[in-house]
A and B are shown apart, each in its own frame.
Chain A
């Protein structure tokens, strides 16, 4: 569950022209790059950063939803939400191991997250105030993530692409369970429908921001696309998401909170699409830089989990060491 134009990528690279041209030729021939292959330093650095941000997003993404596990309105909803949160944890783990193939350590990535040095998707710095937020997250946030993640299955870096294939297979359930929650609320009482509308009002714009800054302001998109790490630009993916989502909102009888939103025949190469109003990028950057409602809570929760689990990790290693030397009393 993640999607965001990479923040702060640095694709600069210092190799010779010949080396870069040979690498680009492999990429252009749609060859996958595997961990031990020669690669430009900028390519490696961009991937470490992107896969790391992606993994952290999955792990932090468990928190806003975990908030509602104990208060899910039925056993069916609770079982689904638990399974979804467990999937997010699994996605984080696939991605951490994909990043590790590039020579960074899991502990190092965890430390960067806990120290506030590593970014994760800013969407998770918004609070989940009502049950309808859980429906909206599945529908919009996972929906946006799917838009972003499907092209990543064709990413030029093999381990990342393979992890994304597993993730995409699992992600579809997430979006469907979210939409089903919204459908149930919208067919319910007036208060329930109002709750659904309120959640859409709060999550709509942050969901559009998940795709990252406009192409004109996204300085590293070009290099990432040349290296086939990214296949579509931020604006292209955002447009796809809007075009897919607006009719779904209409079906629910909900109103997308964008007074400027209108159908425009000229969009999508003449096929038509929904043109959206201006996005508040100041808000986006405020949240990215740590001033979202939940930034401090999210990191504090991760830090507590890490610190509280320290004795378990130590005990497991001590036990393994004892067993390895045959000193376990019971044996």
Chain B
């Protein structure tokens, strides 16, 4: 028999915050995945909204290519506000 598919679970602790990954679980379909996520990950009021996403639907960056992927931002210090010199007399900006 085929293995029951894997789902990733995301929970929003309360309105105003983003959904955050909390773990994964196995379920046959989306409805059962939501019910299982409720039982497994929200037994103590951890949130008010749950997303379940089939794990196979996630495309992830390759950790072997982390350098090429993220290095280009390293030397672009002009993207940060502190790169620019503003005279103190101008005040807070």
Q: Which residues of A contact B (CB under 8 A)?
A: 34, 36-38, 83, 86-87, 90, 93-94, 97-98, 100, 105-107, 162-163, 166, 170, 310, 313-314, 316-317, 319-320, 323-324
Contacts and interface: CB of A to CB of B under 8 A. Distances in A.
B2 interface: yes
Given A36-B63, A37-B63, A313-B28, A93 B40 contact: yes
B25 A86 contact: no
B28 A100 contact: no
A36 B65 CA distance: 11
Interface string B20-43: 001111111100100000011101
B64 A38 contact: yes
B93 interface: no
A34 to B, nearest CB: 7
Contacts of B26: 106
16 contacts: A36-B60, A37-B63, A83-B43, A86-B39, A90-B39, A90-B41, A90-B43, A94-B23, A100-B6, A100-B24, A106-B26, A162-B23, A163-B23, A170-B44, A316-B27, A323-B29
Interface of B: 1-4, 6, 22-29, 32, 39-41, 43-44, 60, 62-64
A180 to B, nearest CB: 19
Given A38-B63, A100-B24, A87 B43 contact: yes
Given A94-B23, A94-B40, A313-B1, A319 B29 contact: yes
Residue among B6, B25, B26 with most chain A CB within 10 A:
B26
B2 to A, nearest CB: 6
Given A94-B40, A316-B32, A105 B3 contact: yes
B28 A319 contact: yes
Nearest to B44: A170
B42 to A, nearest CB: 10
A241 to B, nearest CB: 26
A86 B29 CA distance: 22
Contacts of A98: 23
Contact of B3 (A94, A107, A314, A319): A107
A316 B29 contact: yes
A310 to B, nearest CB: 8
A157 to B, nearest CB: 14
B40 A90 contact: yes
Nearest to A90: B40
Given A106-B3, A313-B28, 20 more contacts: A36-B60, A83-B43, A86-B39, A94-B40, A97-B23, A98-B23, A100-B6, A106-B4, A106-B26, A170-B44, A313-B1, A314-B1, A316-B4, A316-B27, A316-B29, A317-B1, A317-B4, A317-B28, A323-B29, A324-B29
A278 B63 CA distance: 49
B86 to A, nearest CB: 36
A321 to B, nearest CB: 9
Contacts of B4: 106, 313, 316-317
B78 to A, nearest CB: 28
A97 B24 contact: yes
A36 B29 contact: no
A150 B89 CA distance: 52
Nearest to A163: B23
8 closest Cβ pairs, A-B complex: A316-B28, A320-B29, A320-B28, A97-B24, A36-B63, A317-B28, A37-B63, A107-B3
Contacts of B29: 316, 319-320, 323-324
A37 B25 CA distance: 22
B88 to A, nearest CB: 38
B57 to A, nearest CB: 14
